[in-house]
Structure 1
Amino acid sequence: MPPIARRNLFHDKVRLIVTLTGITFAVVLMVVELGLFLGFSTTTTGLIDHSGADLWVASQRIPYIEQGGIFSERKLYQVRATPGVSSAEKYIARFGS
């Protein structure tokens, strides 16, 4: 480090401590946000990852997979009648108290 930069950095100790505190806070905040993102991603895709299904068929306008919707029996039989489909089952997800 050049001497002028070193002198400039260590000249005002209070400013140095405030700057290092801000940088440390920013790094900790980024790590926490990354942990939240990875946790939410794992939780959201856990249902699909552990199902073992090759293909999911859902009703129209379903905002996310955990919120089930009305799916007619007719559509289920159409899926079962499709060539190459060995089995099709209903998946019912509801919240209980």
Structure 2
Amino acid sequence: MVYLNFLLVAGIIASLVFYFYFKTKQFRSTLPIRTKWYKAKSGIALAAFIIFFGFNATILYPDLIGYIVAVVFLIIGISLGTNNYKRMRHEGRFIQEEYELNK
């Protein structure tokens, strides 16, 4: 159980690092489609953070309230992740085209 908690905390920290990395790339990008693409990627990292946090809540608080909080976080994280994944895939098709047009 201690190892699982350690892995979940490592996932939480890694997802936060990726979130801030992609948000920084979003703010520094000058092309509009690339900005939206980085925004979607940071949304996926945020969804991963929420999912890891929800799983960690079940380990830290193994009672009814902890399970309810975990289910709510998992539902929000999965819906946020799927929405941002679809957006990232859609906008990723136009990255190369936008780069070629703005050389």
TM range (shorter): 0.3 to 0.5
TM-score between both structures, scaled by the size of structure 2? 0.32
Structure number with the bigger relative contact order (C-alpha 8 A, sep ≥ 6) is 2
TM-score between both structures, scaled by the size of structure 1? 0.34
| Structure index of larger Rg | 1
